[in-house]
Chain A
Amino acid sequence: MSEPKDIFIPTLDRELGSIHPINQVKFELIKLLTSFGFEVAEGPEIESEKNNFDMLNIPATHPAREMHDTFYVGNKKNVLRTHTSPVQVRCMLRNKPPISFISPGKVYRKDDDSTHLPMFHQIEGIYIDQGVSFAHLKDLIYKICSSLFGEKIKIRFRPSYFPFTEPSAEVDILFGKKWLEILGCGVVNPKVLSNCKIDSKKFSGLAFGLGIERIAMLKYGVKDIREFYKSNLDFLRQFK
């Protein structure tokens, strides 16, 4: 007996949907970082200026406040958080070292052009304990980058400036022939530890932060960041 031809086989093709690509990358990063030992912490997107800036060593007069270009709400009483670092402030105030948290979530900057969006996603991590050094930070960053982009990925560290870390670094990966900035990190500034009631003479810490859109663009080859937020079915269908 001959086999039935495909054309006669009844099919019931039910298309799968998809999780949004930004959430897919966010969940993968959470899975990776929790496997290293980090716990997940979440916090509000509407924050006090104190938590968003002051506690993180960014005083009112600091140029970094201009850099962030913030959305203010409620008659300038609060801000839409410009980074997920205020969640770390809350964690440090609530817990005693050793502390190891990651804080994924939406953040806001007053920006809207072809390369910047008023809302995007970050995942930041912090680890506070005795004897934590820049060399430990490097180890963690190597592990994160190797897990995301493969063991052979070339990485370079560049000095940078974040008021809440000292020393501060930006990390580039070699993508083709180009170095691309992938994350910011550093040794937690002792002033931040003191602000959060942690003895900075006894404890030190490391912190890092990644832009999830940046990772997603590299992972999927998306050239225009705005594509993620058009909700175009033809775009979303590609991330099943």
Chain B
Amino acid sequence: MKIIAQQLLEYFKNKPKISELSERLFQLGHEHELNKGILDFEITPNRGDCLSLKGLARDLNYFYKAEIEKPIFTKKIKKLNLNFKNKTKDLCPNISFLEVEIVGKTKPYKNYLEKYFKNLKINKNNFFTDISNYLAYESGQPTHCFDAEKMNGIFILEKNKKKSKFLTLLNEEIEIEKNDLVFTLDREVISLAGVMGGASTACGKNTHKVLIECAYFKPEEILGQARKYNLNSEAAYKFERGVDFLGQENVLRRFIKIIDDHAEIKSLKFISENKKNNTKSVAYDSKKLNEIIGCDINEKEQKAILSSLGFTNGKKVAVPAHRSDIDEINDLAEEITRVVGYNNIPSKALKLPVKAKNLNRSFELICRNYLVNNGFFEVINFPFNDNNDESAIVVDNPLDKQRAKMRVCLTKSLKDNLVYNQNRQKDSIKFFEFSDIYTKSGVSRKLSLIVSGRIYKNHKEFNSMLDYGYLKGLLKTIFSETMNVALTFSSSSSENYDFRETIIFKGTNIGRIGKLSKNFLKSKVKTPVYSFEIDIDSLSVPSQRYVGISDHPASYRDMSYSLENLNILKNLEKKIEKNVQCFKLLQEAFVFDYFDNKKINILKVGYRFKFQSSTKSPTDREIDEIMKKINKDTLSIKGIKIEGL
């Protein structure tokens, strides 16, 4: 909303500089920009009363003593006999009509009116509509001018009975829906109430007799109407934020005064209907006000502030009719705080009660740090896409068709991230994302990883490529390191994968790992892409407990196994793991050497075994006995040899 700063200053006895005025407006909560004498406001939606010169002057009254009321026509006006019926008194309780006839030519616009059009670059229309527009700017109350000569018939304010075409005064044709609030003349819609009048009854340059409608519409009845019909309506903007429900007669008397300033009035007739008269009140409690604000403002000062804003003081504070936003003591506290200035309220030390904190480690926290340390970058994606999954939640009002559903997995988003970077010549990509996934069956927390390209950019690993083994090894390591659990895998398939395995954690399927198919990737880059996605809801990291450290030395044994093929390795791993579980003295076993030469058909795996006790140094005999058992177990696997044995 634009306001001419000079016109606002004219309201005040103590005229401040424009810069000071601007600061006060900020203090009161009226955010604006000041440019070449024009104040351009963003008034908060609760302050419909400030959408005018008068409203802002009223809000600044405490500082500059405003003369809020402009001259009005004060004489008695004849009653208007209007064939009008208000069928929606609950939606429009207060409505007034003024019929004015002028004779002769109108005079050039006086300074206040001319400035409004010139400085704010508003197009003039016709005499009556121009005054109506100015008056909305000055008072905040919209009015609508019908050409009185075109108003012969039964005039009704009602809910639209059926869909009907309507040509607005801006010559835009719209189809008004059933049950929207409209003015009709002989059953034809002539105005979308509170939003815009129609072309059929609009005033023109030759209009000399006008019927001016001035009403209070319930804000919720007007809310969203202009938007629904794509109409730009200042009137609707004001009505939906609430206007002074008792101000109609005063505004029409001001209308007459402005006409009188510019033309010779031949006749005046007026009628009004006022069903809503009761103003609200809020119990006054000086102590409570100070408790809310948190400082001591004496009763006299509190009352002076409220009075300056138009409230009537007493045991109960009467709320003026233009303040639809006030209905409790916290609202009054805000009024007082605004005028005192939020920045002038001293702060009070706040100390929150201390509560025990949950210091448990989470899988997500540990895993995120582990991945970052291994060169992975975290991404965050929007949850919308266009998947065909039946479990996907449909967005009722999506931004577009491509974002009409909630995603059912993270992998597709990560795939898009990867392709975006491949297209930008990135040859080593390692991404992960943690997110909740919402489907028709509920919500679950997921982790997904995607890898493609070089492992690292160093001279040893530059030519090594991220592959399935890397990703699977990483996944297994995460679980063994954070939860001391060995994952198992079973073969599965999907059209989105060239090959895929199901990930099993303690007997439960928690996700999938595999190589993504070219059809799914739709990337020009041919580098293979691997991904896993797991459900992490059920993963809890065991709490850390200290285990005594042995002061006795450890002993090691190395064993080299010759394997006929790689498939045997899984069995070898199982047998050795079983022995680690079985013998307390055998602390750990791990692969320390791996040699695979397909040309000469040699596959060797070197295992190191660590023996240690907390009570004594392990003897050779003890170690030999365990090794004997391990050798017996491992050699029972077909296709395994130990050279020299």
Contacts and interface: CB of A to CB of B under 8 A. Distances in A.
Contact of B397 (A71, A119, A127): A71
B377 A230 contact: no
Interface string A57-100: 00001011011000111111000100000000000000000101
Interface string A16-28: 1111101100000
Given A23-B378, A135-B347, A14 B456 contact: yes
Contact of A168 (B334, B457, B461): B334
B333 A167 contact: yes
A32 B348 CA distance: 20
B291 A131 contact: yes
B234 to A, nearest CB: 15
Interface in B258-310: 291-295
B456 A13 contact: yes
Contacts of B223: 61, 63, 66
Contact of B396 (A75, A131, A137): A75
A204 B431 CA distance: 45
Interface string B25-50: 01111010000000000001111000
A153 B44 CA distance: 27
Nearest to B349: A139
A114 interface: no
Interface stretch (B65-73, B132-140, B418-426): B418-426
B47 A161 contact: yes
Nearest to A181: B31
Contacts of A139: 347-350
B380 A228 contact: yes
A128 B459 CA distance: 59
A134 B293 contact: yes
Contact of B372 (A19, A73, A98): A19
Given A133-B291, A167-B337, A236 B377 contact: yes
A17 B375 contact: yes
Given A17-B371, A136-B294, A229-B380, A112 B330 contact: no
Nearest to B337: A167
Contacts of A119: 382-383
A195 B57 CA distance: 36
B357 interface: yes
Interface string B441-452: 001000000000
Contact of B377 (A18, A67, A73, A168): A18
Interface string A93-123: 0000010100000000010100001110000
Interface string A207-240: 0000000000000000000001111111011000
Nearest to B242: A63
Contacts of A127: 350, 352
Given A12-B458, A15-B456, A138-B347, A233 B426 contact: yes
Nearest to B241: A63
Contacts of B421: 231-233
A66 to B, nearest CB: 6
A231 B456 contact: no
Which one of B27, B220, B334 has the greatest number of beta carbons of chain A within 10 Å? B334
Interface stretch (B338-346, B491-499, B588-596): B338-346
Interface string B357-399: 1000000000010011111111111111000000001111111
B457 A15 contact: yes
Interface string A145-186: 000000000001111110000111100000000000000000
A128 to B, nearest CB: 11
A73 B394 contact: yes
Contact of B45 (A11, A64, A169): A64
Given A37-B353, A46-B393, A156-B343, A63 B377 contact: no
B140 to A, nearest CB: 16
Contacts of A129: 353
A73 B337 contact: no
Nearest to B31: A158
B41 to A, nearest CB: 13
Given A19-B372, A118-B382, A159 B456 contact: no
Contacts of A117: 382
Contacts of A67: 45
B356 to A, nearest CB: 10
A78 to B, nearest CB: 9
B420 A231 contact: yes
B379 A14 contact: no
Nearest to A10: B459
B240 A63 contact: yes
A16 B372 contact: yes
A71 B373 CA distance: 37
A56 interface: no
A117 to B, nearest CB: 8
A140 B350 contact: yes
A54 interface: no
A64 B292 CA distance: 24
B322 interface: no
Given A135-B347, A231-B421, A169 B342 contact: yes
A239 B384 CA distance: 26
Given A20-B380, A119-B382, A228-B380, A133 B348 contact: yes
B226 to A, nearest CB: 11
B62 to A, nearest CB: 14
Contact of A14 (B342, B347, B375, B396): B375
B430 interface: yes
A98 B353 contact: yes
Contacts of B219: 61, 63
Contacts of A204: 291-292
Which 3 pairs show the lowest CB-CB distances between chains A and B? A135-B294, A133-B294, A159-B29
Given A46-B438, A233-B424, 6 more contacts: A17-B373, A36-B352, A39-B355, A73-B406, A134-B337, A135-B346
28 contacts: A12-B461, A13-B456, A14-B456, A15-B457, A19-B368, A23-B378, A45-B438, A61-B219, A63-B45, A63-B219, A63-B223, A66-B223, A100-B352, A134-B294, A138-B345, A143-B350, A158-B342, A159-B334, A166-B328, A167-B292, A167-B293, A167-B334, A187-B333, A189-B330, A191-B328, A204-B292, A229-B380, A230-B420
Interface of B: 26-29, 31, 44-47, 219-220, 223-224, 227, 240-241, 291-295, 328, 330-331, 333-334, 337-338, 342-343, 345-355, 357, 368, 371-384, 393-399, 403, 406, 417, 420-421, 424, 426, 429-431, 436, 438, 443, 456-461
Interface of A: 10-20, 22-23, 34, 36-39, 44-46, 61, 63-64, 66-67, 71-76, 80, 98, 100, 110, 112, 117-119, 127, 129, 131-140, 142-143, 156-161, 166-169, 187, 189-191, 204, 228-234, 236-237
